[in-house]
Amino acid sequence: SLDLQHKLERLMLIPRIKDISITKFSKIFLECAALPIFFVLTFSAMAFGEKITIWSRKYQSYNIPLVYSIIGIILFCYLFDAQRWKSRFGKNLRTLLLSTLFLAVSLMSIFVSVDHPYFSLCTFTVLLPVWLYACRYIFFRRKSREVYVSWLSGPLFVTGLIVIAIWVYWTTRDRMNQWNPKTKIIYSEESQCIPDFSSYPECLNSTTNQSCFSIEVKNGIRDISYEKGCDEKCAAVYDECFHSFVLWAWPLVAGTSLIFLSFASAFLIPEEEEIGKSLKPSSFIKMWIMLLFGMWVAACVSGVGARLTESLIFFVFSLVLSGILLVIGAMNLQETTQQAQEKVTESYDDFLDMMESLVILFAPIPLTIYLALSFLNQG
């Protein structure tokens, strides 16, 4: 079985997998699975994706206050040197601020997904290595980052395969879970997308000024009812609605992100064996370029609609950023960071102190004026 594993690794069908105990593998697997479970339940059609989309449209106006809150927390932590708080109260306050920051960023991701539905996928991909390093800090604090990263490839790969397998099972068990014109209409309607009848005027009911189809629920199963002279081609009125495809394909793309990160972490395993020396990152990159190109072609052929290329570009960028974060986290940057901080402090200490003092002294003035004007405007 070990020879078979090495053959599959050389063919890049599976990543290099570090030999660790079942207990460690299971523990890391649960860590890897926690974030995908949360995001799949929140953003995919397999669970609450449609309801979350409707909710986010309703409260999208709160996005701007969230941005102000995020900026305010970051500035507060920077100006008052939160990283140096050593007292019990200081540590608790820092934990509260960081938890609030995480919650605000999560909510902002949901609200931004209203206009950019692929944003949730990009957020998940970028947050994944951050989440894993947070888990290392909590559960494997005594292990170095290099050792911890060398353990990730197997659990990440298995998690990705399980997510994709569950999605495949979900799509095959019911025709209404497959990507087709009816599914496109249902997800678009549930996401409250606005149909575009300019190119398909025959799909508009002139009497009701509504589309010539409607969603019916029979025995708990949703289906599309077409009026006379109306058929599945009218699903094209939702070509500009990318939410429907993202809701449907979310688990597939999330599983792809997990598998990509498993290969990326495998290249960070020390090359102690001959198998490690025979694997080249360039071959891995070429393989993934072909895979992503194939996904793009398949999505185009299936009639996904607009914004596919834009979404794929942002997704690839998030994959690259995720890999960079994984590499940076695995490196021992503590000494380098400390030296850089000392150098900056020596050169610009007086200037930074002066700027912090000016901000602390004068920032409340425009803020107070802004709040007063906002209050008067509301009145």
User: Residue 143: pLDDT band by 50, 70, 90 thresholds?
Assistant: confident
Is 288 found in the same domain as 234? no
Per-residue pLDDT band for 277 (boundaries 50, 70, 90) equals: very low
Classify residue 162: in a domain, yes or no: yes
Is pLDDT at 50 greater than 70 in this prediction? Answer: yes
Same domain? 328 vs 364 = no
pLDDT of residue 152: 93
Range with lowest mean pLDDT among 12-26, 218-232, 301-315: 301-315
Among 98, 105, 146, CA closest to 124: 105
Residues 55-80: what's their mean pLDDT? Answer: 86
The residue written with tokens 């380098």 in the block is 336
Q: Quick one: 370 and 256 in the same domain? A: no
The mean pLDDT of the chain is 79
In this structure, is residue 327 part of a structural domain? yes
Residue 250 to residue 234: CA distance in whole angstroms:
24
Please check whether residues 208 and 167 belong to one and the same domain: no
Determine, yes or no, domain membership for 219: yes
Helix (H, G, I), strand (E, B) or coil at 4: helix
pLDDT beyond 60 at 206: yes
Q: How confident is the model at residue 165 (pLDDT cuts 50, 70, 90)?
A: very high
User: Is residue 260 within 8 Å of 319, Cβ to Cβ?
Assistant: yes
Closest CA to 41 of 124, 151, 105, 101: 124
User: What pLDDT was estimated at residue 299?
Assistant: 61
Q: Is residue 209 part of a domain?
A: yes
What pLDDT is recorded for position 170? 94
Question: Hey, what are 228's tokens?
Answer: 């006379």
What lies within 8 Å, CB to CB, of 184 at 6+ separation is: 235, 238, 244, 245, 303
pLDDT of 274 reads: 43
Question: Are 324 and 366 members of one domain?
Answer: no
What average pLDDT does this structure show over 94-115?
84
Domain that holds residue 144: 2-178+240-332
Same domain, 325 and 353: no
Is the pLDDT at 219 greater than 80, yes or no? no
pLDDT higher than 90, residue 338 = no
The pLDDT value given to residue 57:
86
User: Which one of 295, 312, 332 terminates a domain?
Assistant: 332
DSSP 221: E
CA neighbor of 19 nearest in space, from 275, 261, 256, 257: 275
Q: Quote the strand ranges of the chain, DSSP E.
A: 204-205, 210-211, 213-218, 221-226
On whether both 119 and 130 belong to a single domain, the answer is: yes
Listed range (88-92, 137-141, 321-325, 360-364) with the worst mean pLDDT: 360-364
Count of structural domains within the chain: 3
Residues 127 and 107 in one domain: yes
**Taking a C-beta distance cutoff of 8 angstroms, is the pair 151, 20 a contact?**
yes
Contact 251/44 with Cβ under 8 angstroms?
Answer: yes
- Distance in angstroms (rounded) separating the CA atoms of residues 292 and 316: 8
23 and 70 co-located in one domain = yes
Average pLDDT over residues 6-29: 83
Average pLDDT over residues 108-126: 86
Report the percentage of the chain scoring pLDDT > 90: 13
pLDDT at residue 40 in the model: 93
The confidence band for 105, taking pLDDT boundaries of 50, 70 and 90, is confident
DSSP 368: H
The answer to whether residue 184 sits within a structural domain is no
Identify the pLDDT of residue 305: 53
Closest CA to 306 of 244, 366, 362, 248: 244
Does residue 206 share a domain with residue 166? no
pLDDT at position 254, please? 92
Assess if residue 254 is contained within a domain: yes
* One domain for residues 208 and 246: no
Residue 101 forms part of a structural domain: yes
Please indicate, yes or no, if residue 183 is contained in any of the structural domains: no
Q: Are residues 226 and 244 in the same domain?
A: no
Segment 249-273 shows an average pLDDT of 82
Candidates 28, 228, 315; CA nearest to 148 is 28
Closest CA to 316 of 344, 333, 291, 334: 291
Give the confidence band of 139 by pLDDT, cuts at 50, 70, 90: confident
Contact assessment for residue 104 and residue 23, using Cβ atoms and an 8 Å cutoff: no
3-state secondary structure of 204: strand
